[in-house]
Structure 1
Amino acid sequence: MEKPTRIKTGSGPPQAFRYYDIVMAAFVAILLLSNIIGAAKPSYITLPNGSEWSFGAGVLFFPISYIIGDILTEVYGYAKARRVIWTGFAALTFMAFMAWVVVALPPAEGWDGQEAYEKVFGNTWRIVLASIIAFWAGEFANSIVLAKMKVWTKGKMLWSRTIGSTVVGQGLDSMLFYPIAFLGQDGWTTELIIQLVLSQWLIKTAWEAFLTPVTYVVVNKLKSAEGVDIYDTATDFSPFAKSD
């Protein structure tokens, strides 16, 4: 297996990659599907003491988008990951707009699925806004931390930066989403929101740690296939900077 060429950002012309578009498509697809399918259904597990612990079903799959985000930053660098995050942000925004339009359209006579349709796709403006803001902030924090840690660790200890960036990114995601979406509504006490933030944070981070071996395999294979190992030593980390 050939060793990937170590490239520092700003040291040469933009690279052409074989699998970048595929990874981007996987990221956006999982992001949208976890919000469409998983977000609408609460589920539970039975604890050893017989009590039930509830969680949002989307938490089982949404963290995979963060893992793909880690892979993007680690293999292709922050600038390429930034483009993917903005693509995901645009797709998430359009999905919310499309859902609002379709739900608002009057149902045809004889169709009795409007109530069920509204229940699944008719999220309140607060939930939609919270989801978009939390995704944007969490993903950028995740990518920036991972890129900077790669330089600090000189490319060693991949596990430390994938888990460390997830602690920051997923923590910010959870801390933004629940207060923006639910704080002040009936039944949503501050204590409940804090519990949900902490539980979601722990679950998402645990997922990242559990799937670390998979991350290692994918990262190594992509670096070998693309022939690069990018370090963000001269990168503008502003989310609004122009991507390569």
Structure 2
Amino acid sequence: MTGERQKLDGAALANANFRYFPYVMAAFVAILLLSNIIGASKPSFIVLPNGSEWAFGAGVLFFPLSYIIGDVLTEVYGYANARRVIWAGFAALIFMAFMAWVVVSLPPAEGWPGQEAYEFVFGNAWRIVIASIVAFWAGEFANAFVMAKMKIWTRGKHLWSRTIGSTVVGQGLDSLIFYPLAFYGLAGWPIEQLWEVVLSQWLIKTGWEILLTPVTYQVIGFLKRREGVEVFDTDTNFSPFGSRGETA
């Protein structure tokens, strides 16, 4: 459907058949898993002009893409569909953590030297997942809520204001909750470095959103043209759990 866009409210989404929605969902879940098991466990740093080091989490290199995709989901497909994707991501995180625990717990073959390193990298998976669930509960749903409400307030105009505004709120909550819950008290994470990472993650993630705004415009424009819809969450239940009879 590439012609004139059909304006839909929350109730009309129940019968909508979206062509690209499964691919956007897959991209969101994949980036969520990668950022939590590969990027989040490693702090890195940059050298400032004064010679001091500023710490940041390596996941910041690609994790902000999940929030950009979250913006795309809410803007194109509506809050209720974004909620479905967030829950799918939670389920994938739990499965990932369970399998990490199983693999780490298996006895290593005789002579294999990697067990200690494996435990160091993947042994904290459950704590990371718990922190991720709590952080995403606040961050992703806040991001989607602000995005959907601002679309109504702006009558669908000024897309940049709601992509950036929702990211400031969502990423701020995510960084503030995730890193202390996941890494507070662990070796290699002194408290000063931990709060540096929280602040730098929020600033860098928001900076990524601003920098990639032209790309976000292109992706959202492409999907709206291809799907042929313009969604406004005027009658949507914004509870993270939904309710019986909820359209999504």
1:23 is matched with: 24
- The whole-number CA distance in structure 2 between the counterparts of 1:164 and 1:150 is 11
Contact 1:130–1:178 under 8 Å retained in 2: yes
Q: 1:107 to 1:191 in 2, by over 3 A?
A: closer
1:182-238 per-residue CA deviation (whole Å, 9 max, x = no partner) reads 445678666554433222111111111110100000000100000001000000001
1:55-101 per-residue CA deviation (whole Å, 9 max, x = no partner) reads 11111100100000100000000111110000001101111111112
- The whole-number CA distance in structure 2 between the counterparts of 1:160 and 1:79 is 21
Q: 1:120 to 1:185 in 2, by over 3 A?
A: closer
Which stretch of the first structure deviates more once superposed, 177-186 or 203-212? Answer: 177-186
1:177 is matched with: 178
TM-score with structure 2 length normalisation? 0.91
Contact 1:174–1:200 under 8 Å retained in 2: yes
Contact 2:41–2:121 under 8 Å retained in 1: yes
Which stretch of the first structure deviates more once superposed, 129-138 or 94-103? Answer: 129-138
C-alpha RMSD of matched pairs (Å) = 2.0
Partner secondary structure for residue 236 of structure 1? coil
Contact 1:8–1:232 under 8 Å retained in 2: yes
| Alpha-carbon shift at residue 132 of structure 1 (Å) | 2.3
Give the 5 Å matches for 1:108-127: 108-123=109-124, 125-127=126-128
Percent identical across equivalent pairs? 71
1:114-150 per-residue CA deviation (whole Å, 9 max, x = no partner) reads 1121122111643332122112321111111101110
| Alpha-carbon shift at residue 53 of structure 1 (Å) | 2.0
Instruction: Figure out how many residues of one structure are paired with residues of the other and give that number.
Output: 244
2:35 is matched with: 34
Give the 5 Å matches for 1:1-244: 2-11=3-12, 13-123=14-124, 125-183=126-184, 192-241=193-242, 242=246, 244=248
TM-score with structure 1 length normalisation? 0.92
Partner secondary structure for residue 115 of structure 1? helix
| Alpha-carbon shift at residue 17 of structure 1 (Å) | 0.6
Partner secondary structure for residue 48 of structure 1? coil
Q: 1:52 to 1:194 in 2, by over 3 A?
A: closer
Q: 1:206 to 1:177 in 2, by over 3 A?
A: same
Partner secondary structure for residue 171 of structure 1? helix
Q: 1:42 to 1:15 in 2, by over 3 A?
A: same
| Alpha-carbon shift at residue 102 of structure 1 (Å) | 1.1
Contact 1:74–1:230 under 8 Å retained in 2: yes
- The whole-number CA distance in structure 1 between the counterparts of 2:114 and 2:12 is 57
- Structure 2: stretches of 5+ with no match in the other structure: none
- The whole-number CA distance in structure 1 between the counterparts of 2:125 and 2:219 is 37
- The whole-number CA distance in structure 1 between the counterparts of 2:59 and 2:84 is 24
Contact 1:7–1:231 under 8 Å retained in 2: yes
| Alpha-carbon shift at residue 54 of structure 1 (Å) | 2.2
| Alpha-carbon shift at residue 11 of structure 1 (Å) | 4.1
- The whole-number CA distance in structure 2 between the counterparts of 1:118 and 1:47 is 33
